[in-house]
Amino acid sequence: MNIKTRLAPSPTGYLHIGSLRTALYNYFFAKKNHGTFLLRIEDTDRTRYVEGSVEALLKTLKQMHLSWDEGPYVQSERLPIYQEHAQMLLEKGSAYYCFCTPERLKELRERQQQVKQSTKYDRHCLSLSTDEIQKRLAAGESHVIRLKIPDGITTFEDAIRGSITINNEEIDDQVLMKSDGFPTYHLAVVVDDHLMGITHIIRAEEWISSVPKHVHLYQSFGWDLPVFAHLPLVLNPDKSKLSKRQGDVAVEDYLAKGYLPEALINYVALLGFNPTADREIYKMDELIELFDLSKVNKSGAVFDVQKLRWMNGQYLRAMDLDALVSASKNFLTNDEVVTDEMLKKILTVEVERLEVLSEVSDRVRPYLSISDYDASILVWKKSTREDAQAQLQGLSGLVGSFSPSVFENVSLIEHAIKQYIESKSLQNGNVLWPLRVALSGSEQSASPFQLAWVLGKDETLSRLTIALNKLSA
RNA sequence: GGCCCCAUCGUCUAAUGGUUAGGACAUCAGGUUUUCAUCCUGGUAACGGGGGUUCAAUUCCCCCUGGGGUCACCA
């Protein structure tokens, strides 16, 4: 049997982190089994359609390296198929016309809530005679088609949770075809999954409660059931379903902040699934190879941005330097003009203190121009202003005497300066601290040797002069 | 509220009918470093409660509690 999974988003905006996880598991499962990963756009609700969201969705999926083998199918282009299938159900007696107005339905619900009854359709239209139905249909009266849920109990198997049973009394006579001629999710999803040959439905847990309706649909049509696998939810820190309000939920947001697709995939994939537990960095290929539906957790997982940041840092440090350079460029502002060569040097020394690419801008700026700083920070805590001045003076002479070849790499610079310190019997801190501040304008920076290497001889000397002027002012 | 699902450190998780209950993030302490970060070492920290079953339960069963999801002509 050819394994076939699908991702079926609705075009209501962005790609949710939870949807990414669903997409990933569907993708992993299909690839691992040499099957097919299909994409289907579920746009049967015209009122919620967001212009441009399909394009955005496809773009994000591509950015995340999730390529589909089939589709994208678009449900709004398949209306006749659903209408035809709704007719089949009508003929089989598994569905019926309903002419109730939204107002009546609303009142009904309110009445039921007041009496603390479960809110479900009262089958008011089930008893309509064929004649009356034909008459009202002919008169063009607004109507829907409802699924007729039989008495009894429904049990289905979930690949992650095992057997789930529900009393049919709990199930509502779900609307299948809306009055606008569009199908509801429930009809469309069942018809499409069957017609498209989906073998495994892997989706979020929030769908569990509607599975019984789908089971009745499959049974009414006389179709075999696919395998259901309901994923635990991705949660906010307070354990509720991951939502806006409590942080970013769109994959696009994370991409824009400079998280790498690989890191996002790695982190999100591990929310609810762990291949071995003795390791946390996995490439896509490994995740596919190791993925196992039966090892997916049952309980929800809190999305921890802190750990994502850490993981992104790991990916940044493991990244090829040229790739890092080109990825970083997108995060520089217009007035931060750097040559590739310069950016490469900067990133070589700054990558270890980088967690997300959006921080690149702040890291690059001090190398391009030194910002104003207070002269007092040039003085090492165990030293004096006079000493700092003397050391910078000495360093200025020393660096001025360096041949260009010294600037070819960091260790030559380091060696030369340390030798100087030793030969003069000076203290590291007294010399190196003022040097760092002079070159970076900050108390926190890369090592002074790295700074000098990135800046080059001329700029290094120039910044030493600026520092000396500050001290003598 | 009805129904459904779930329950190991703060968080993501591993393992097991008999273990000092393991790893990672975070956190704390120490080391490296002239600083921050990186890196290294170490520490704190978990089986929700009550009944069973069993020689033995974190593990299997039941109840409770807690958390979540769902109750639309939305998906």
Cα A25 from chain centroid? 13
A17 C-beta neighbours (distance < 10 Å), count: 23
> In the block, which residue shows the tokens 């030798």?
A419
Sheet with A227-231, strands from edge to edge, namely A162-167, A153-158, A227-231, A200-204
Distance A250 CA to B75 C1' (A): 17
CATH topology of domain A251-316: Glutamyl-tRNA Synthetase; domain 2 (1.10.1160)
- CB-count burial class (<10 Å; 0-12, 13-18, 19+) for A51: exposed
Query: What pLDDT does residue A65 have?
Result: 95
Protein residue minimizing CA–C1' distance to B38: A352
What are φ and ψ of residue A112, in 5° steps?
-65, -40
- Residue position matching structure tokens 């697709």: A261
**Locate tokens 């002012």: which residue?**
A473
Closest listed residue to residue A231, CA positions, set A469, A25, A419: A25
Distance from residue A141's CA to nucleotide B23's C1', rounded to whole Å:
64
Does A244 participate in catalysis according to the annotation?
A: yes
Burial class from Cβ neighbours inside 10 Å (0-12, 13-18, 19+) for residue A368 reads middle
pLDDT of residue A334: 82
Q: How many CB atoms lie within 10 A of CB A210?
A: 15
Residue A251 (CA) to nucleotide B60 (C1'), in angstroms, measures 41
d(CA A4, CA A377): 64
The type of residue at A425 is S
* Superfamily holding A80-177: Glutamyl-tRNA Synthetase; Domain 3 (3.90.800.10)
List the pLDDT tens digit at each of the 473 positions of chain A: 799 999 999 999 899 999 999 999 999 999 999 999 999 999 999 999 999 999 999 999 999 999 999 989 999 999 999 999 999 999 999 999 999 999 999 999 999 988 888 889 999 999 999 999 999 999 999 999 999 999 999 999 999 999 999 999 999 999 999 999 999 999 999 999 999 999 999 999 999 999 999 999 999 999 999 999 999 999 999 999 999 888 899 999 999 999 999 999 999 999 999 988 788 999 999 999 999 999 999 999 999 999 999 999 999 999 999 999 999 999 998 888 889 999 999 999 999 999 999 999 999 999 999 989 999 999 998 889 999 999 999 999 999 999 999 999 999 999 999 999 999 999 899 999 999 999 999 999 999 999 999 999 999 999 999 999 998 87
DSSP class per residue in A250-293:
BHHHHHHTT--HHHHHHHHHTSS--SSSS-----HHHHHHH--G
CATH number, domain A375-472: 1.10.10.350
Q: Which nucleotide is nearest to A178 (CA to C1')?
A: B73
Nucleotide nearest to A267 (CA to C1'): B12
Spacing of A268 CA from B18 C1' in Å = 36
Q: What is the pLDDT of residue A381?
A: 85
DSSP-assigned letter for residue A16 = B
Q: Strand B: which bases are under 7 Å from protein Cβ?
A: 1-8, 10-15, 22-26, 33-39, 67-75
Q: How far is the CA of A275 from the C1' of B8 (A)?
A: 18
Protein residue at shortest CA distance from C1' of B24: A280
The interface pTM score, or ipTM, of the predicted complex is 0.95
Domain A251-316 in the same topology as domain A80-177: no
Q: Which CATH superfamily is A4-72+185-234 part of?
A: HUPs (3.40.50.620)
Residue closest to B74 C1′ by Cα? A45
**Active-site residue, from A59, A62, A106, A244:** A244
Token representation of residue A183: 């199908």
Which nucleotide is closest to the Cα of A352 by its C1'? B38
Q: What residue type is assigned to position A264 of the chain?
A: L
Domains of chain A: which residue ranges? 4-72+185-234, 80-177, 251-316, 320-361, 375-472
